């Protein structure tokens, strides 16, 4: 495992779909490309003091985009959907 859990879990994903998953006690994070499910589980448990039930990961490939006459590529990211055990909760925002 990497030294700092913040190197693994970079930021939460705030989209309409990920917010609807909060009702099912599932949280979505952008994680390091080289991390595996075990490292993600340990990092989330250490950062937020919760118990993780399941971790699902996916890699989102970068897309080619054009800005005026130049072509570029968006970065490739890895997402993790973390399911917490019953009774655990992560406070992502102040109002939640």
Instruction: Write the pLDDT tens digit of every residue in 49-73.
Output: 999 999 999 999 999 999 999 999 9
pLDDT of residue 2: 57
pLDDT of residue 3: 74
Q: Is a pLDDT exceeding 60 seen at residue 96?
A: no
Domains in the chain (CATH in brackets) are 5-84 (3.30.70.330)
pLDDT of residue 95: 59
Instruction: Write the pLDDT tens digit of every residue in 1-45.
Output: 557 999 999 999 999 999 999 999 999 999 999 999 999 999 999
DSSP characters over 13-73: --SHHHHHHGGGTEEEEEE-TT--HHHHHHHHHHHH---EEEEEEEEE---EEEETTEEEE
């Amino acid at each position: 495992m990497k030294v700092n859990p913040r190197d693994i879990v970079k930021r939460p994903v705030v989209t309409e779909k990920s917010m609807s998953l909060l009702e099912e006690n599932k949280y979505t994070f952008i994680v390091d490309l080289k991390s595996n499910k075990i490292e993600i589980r340990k990092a989330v448990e250490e950062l937020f003091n919760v118990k993780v039930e399941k971790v699902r990961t996916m890699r989102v490939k970068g897309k080619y985009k054009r800005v005026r006459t130049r072509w570029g590529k968006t970065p490739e990211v890895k997402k993790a959907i973390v399911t917490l055990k019953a009774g655990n909760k992560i406070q992502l925002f102040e109002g939640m």
